[in-house]
Chains A and B, each alone.
Chain A
């Protein structure tokens, strides 16, 4: 099939840009480990409250791990437990969350912390909190009539 000369230039430029873009995204993902939250950890959605770590939601200091704190959240219609957390500025935090009922979101507005919580699955994300402030945690996956009142608060303190 004959392709016009300008079209060849256009496609060469376009496809090269695409390849470069994918290399950047892939390099950042596989070399620096910057992947979206993709944990493969399972939990019985009807026994969440009995199973560790969800039997003890909140902020836990940990030693000997790549992160300083583990923050455990349990979501259910239309609450997060705990309703507020505080972590020190500059610490590396592992967020661990699940849901007891329907699918919920877990997003700290204005940050990259953004996960879907599904019954039966544990969602995890590790990040360094490098900016002090109060970040609203909210549900961003429709869960029912109280969806927009489902909140918690992440406080990053000096």
Chain B
């Protein structure tokens, strides 16, 4: 039985002013989902060969919109909304100054997003969300991106400020787990986004403004991928926060181990950043020794992933057995399958098994040649980010939004949320499955419909492209459903109290070693690994750089 003190803890609400800040981020995230999702649908239709875009809109324009809005805007805004609420819930209401930083960050990011998006819509920046030089977008596109990054630092400072304040007020104590995880994620974000900030501010912006004529292409790509891979973990770690901290509470269980959760997050911090070369495996100018070294560092993330899988299933089994589940798998049936807050993220977790396996293939040095830049890769990240991460975020939205708006998720909405997740899983299986298969045949990613001059090989790809359009259409129905639920939770659901579920640590768990919160140790290792993996190849790149490239606008 829960004690009175525990019940009181469950009812802790995020302060209304912090909730407003979190909700502002969540609004932007779901607007991005609506527009970006529509662009995704259009892409799959175009690529099936049966549809042409009207009004002279270009395929690569909507591809850029899709990538920027879903890969960067939806994710970053939802994550910030969730993190602000999580910090406020577990470490206490933000101070006025911390909240002000949150709002300044929000507006700086939003102005940047609007500036960049406008340039994309005006067809001045159809450079995709990786904006590889020497394709040269309008300078306002790059300036907008710079504002998004700087805004995220300002907003992040507000969240970190709360953590520092908590540590000072509670010396010698382990910080609240959820706040700690938020700070790990932000530390990773700040360290990695320095790379893309340098690329944008010192290379692309002066070059697009005409202040310098040429750009060092390989260096710009290296800086991008120094940022680009941790970016995907920046999406993933908030999903892990939900899995580690929220799901145990939702199913009525306890967190398996506070220490293992913290250790796994710290390992992500270490092994997320010095790994960007695995996106550049088939590029010239980087020696294969350094590529292999970063491949080894990349695959170290297998270790925290295994820790996470173990912790999750330990929590599930302990809870299932407490509910009377017997035998090897009897406990599994006892889990609350009818609760969207559990089932929706669970489907995301299940998708992470094939997604992770595919990721190991992508990162495996010479094996990458078979799949590099084929649509297999698109299939891969539609499982990782567009299923695992996004379904976990949807599952979190179903309690987070009503918690912040003072409403409740009705039974009908819960049912619709479950249908939504099944629709999503079904559509994604078709789309991502077709992408994986046809990618192995060699079909490229990021390409308009083409018969490639009547090539027999390319003709074999078309049925799979039609399958992608079928999957994409089903996924779009999934987007309409989730937007309907979100709109309901924002404006129409019945008033009431919804819990922000935060799990308790199991009484059997050991005390957390304080070393896990010693930032001097972890940040030192983190920076040492980065210097180890990048110093020699980057110096080599700069010393042996060929003449730079002038800009091209070829769309």
Contacts and interface: CB of A to CB of B under 8 A. Distances in A.
Interface of A: 1-4, 6-7, 10-11, 14-15, 18, 21-22, 25-26, 28-30, 34-46, 77, 101-103, 105, 107-124, 134-136, 138-149, 151, 153
Contact of A37 (B263, B284, B360, B447): B284
B554 A105 contact: no
A52 B367 CA distance: 31
Contacts, number: 227
Interface stretch (B147-155, B300-308, B385-393, B472-480): B300-308
Contact of A103 (B58, B132, B310): B132
B544 A144 contact: no
Contact of A112 (B263, B285, B370, B446): B370
A86 B372 CA distance: 24
Contacts of A1: 259-260, 263, 510, 513
A11 B452 contact: no
A14 B370 contact: no
Contact of B370 (A34, A43, A77, A114): A114
Interface residues of B, number: 71
8 contacts: A1-B260, A22-B296, A25-B295, A38-B283, A38-B284, A45-B549, A151-B452, A151-B455
Contacts of B161: none
Contact of A44 (B368, B441, B546): B546
Contacts of A45: 546-547, 549
B60 interface: yes
A121 B218 contact: yes
A32 to B, nearest CB: 9
A64 to B, nearest CB: 25
A25 B366 contact: yes
Given A10-B310, A102-B135, A121-B546, A140 B373 contact: yes
Contacts of A22: 295-296, 299
B552 A102 contact: yes
A11 B546 contact: no
Contacts of A36: 281-282, 288, 291, 365-366, 368-369
Nearest to A42: B546
B549 A120 contact: yes
B285 A109 contact: no
B457 interface: yes
A106 to B, nearest CB: 9
A1 to B, nearest CB: 5
Contact of B448 (A41, A103, A148): A148
B135 A143 contact: yes
Nearest to A142: B446
Closest 9 CB pairs of A and B: A144-B554, A109-B442, A120-B546, A148-B450, A35-B288, A140-B373, A121-B284, A140-B444, A42-B546
B374 interface: yes
Nearest to B443: A109
Contacts of A34: 366
Nearest to A43: B546
A122 B128 CA distance: 24
Nearest to A112: B369
B292 interface: yes
Identify the interface centre among B292, B442, B453: most chain A CB within 10 Å of its CB.
B442
